[in-house]
Amino acid sequence: MSLAFFSYRHNLPLTIRSALYPIFGDRIYGMIGHVVDTAAVMGTVFGIAASLGIGVIQLNFGLDYMFGIPKGTWTQVVLVLGIVLFATISAVTGVERGIRRLSEFNILLAVLLLLFVLFAGKTIFLLNALVMNIGDYLTNFVSLSFNTYAFDRPTGWLNGWTLFFWAWWIAWGPFVGLFLARISRGRTIRTFVLGTMTLPIIFMFLWMSLLGNSAIDMAMNGASEFGEQVMNNPPAGIYLFLESYPLPILTTAAVSILAIVFFITSGDSGALVLSNFTSKLKNVNSDAPIWMRILWSAVIGVLTLSLILAGGLTTLQSAVVITGLPFSVVLFFMMAGLLKALKLEAFKEDSRRLSLAGQLSGRTGGGGERDTRNWQQRLRRAMSFPGKKQARRFMDETCKPAMEAVRDSLQEQGVFVEINEGVQNGDDYMSLNVDFEDEQNFTYQIWSQGFSTPGFAMHAPHADSRYYRLEVYLLEGSQGYDLMGYTRDQVIGDILDQYELHMQFLHLNRIEPGNINMPDSPEQPPS
- The answer on 383 and 302 residing in a single domain is no
CB 121 within 8 A of CB 245: yes
Q: What is the pLDDT of residues 413-452, one digit of tens each?
A: 989 999 999 988 788 999 999 998 888 889 999 999 888 8
- The answer on 423 and 373 residing in a single domain is yes
Domain C-terminal end among 343, 375, 408:
343
Q: CA-CA distances (angstroms) from residue 127 to 104, 115, 121, 167, 465?
A: 26, 12, 11, 32, 55
- The answer on 316 and 210 residing in a single domain is yes
Q: Is the pLDDT of residue 478 over 60?
A: yes
- The answer on 336 and 418 residing in a single domain is no
Question: Smallest Cα–Cα separation from 469: which of 401, 382, 379?
Answer: 382
Task: Return the pLDDT at 495.
Answer: 93
- The answer on 401 and 268 residing in a single domain is no
- The answer on 61 and 204 residing in a single domain is yes
Residue 522, domain member (yes or no): no
Average pLDDT estimate for 75-83: 86
Residue 162, domain member (yes or no): no
Domain membership of residue 364 as a residue range: 360-511
Region of poorest pLDDT, from 12-21, 49-58, 167-176, 358-367: 358-367
Q: Is the pLDDT of residue 171 over 90?
A: no
Residue 157, domain member (yes or no): no
- The answer on 216 and 171 residing in a single domain is yes
CA gap 16, 30 in Å, rounded: 13
Residue by residue, DSSP assigns 397-461 as: IIIHHHHHHHHHHHHHTT-EEEEEEEEETTEEEEEEEEE-TTSPPEEEEEEEEEEEPPGGGGGST
Q: What is the pLDDT of residues 226-276, one digit of tens each?
A: 878 888 777 778 888 888 889 888 888 888 888 888 888 888 778 888 888
Q: What is the pLDDT of residues 381-413, one digit of tens each?
A: 777 888 889 999 999 999 999 999 999 999 999
Residue 153, domain member (yes or no): no
- The answer on 390 and 268 residing in a single domain is no
Confidence band for 296, pLDDT divided at 50, 70 and 90: confident
Helix (H) or strand (E) holding 290: helix 290-311
Q: What is the pLDDT of residues 323-379, one digit of tens each?
A: 777 788 889 999 999 999 998 888 877 766 655 444 434 444 444 444 445 667 767
CA gap 169, 331 in Å, rounded: 12
CB 59 within 8 A of CB 256: yes
- The answer on 495 and 364 residing in a single domain is yes
Residue 113, domain member (yes or no): yes
Q: Is the pLDDT of residue 104 over 60?
A: yes
- The answer on 479 and 392 residing in a single domain is yes
Q: How far apart are the first and last CA of the chain?
A: 16
Residue 197, domain member (yes or no): yes
- The helix/strand count (H/E) of the chain reads as 18, 5
Task: Return the pLDDT at 520.
Answer: 64
Percent of all residues in the chain with a pLDDT value above 70, rounded to a whole number: 89
- The answer on 71 and 18 residing in a single domain is yes
Average pLDDT estimate for 128-140: 95
Residue 160, domain member (yes or no): no
The structural domain count of the chain equals 2
Other beta carbons less than 10 A from residue 249's beta carbon: 9
- The answer on 424 and 334 residing in a single domain is no
Domain C-terminal end among 316, 343, 370:
343
Average pLDDT estimate for 39-54: 82
Residue 527, domain member (yes or no): no
Average pLDDT estimate for 87-94: 76
Confidence band for 487, pLDDT divided at 50, 70 and 90: confident
Q: In the predicted model, what is the mean pLDDT of the chain?
A: 82
Q: What is the pLDDT of residues 174-186, one digit of tens each?
A: 878 888 888 888 8
Residue scoring higher pLDDT (168 or 133): 133
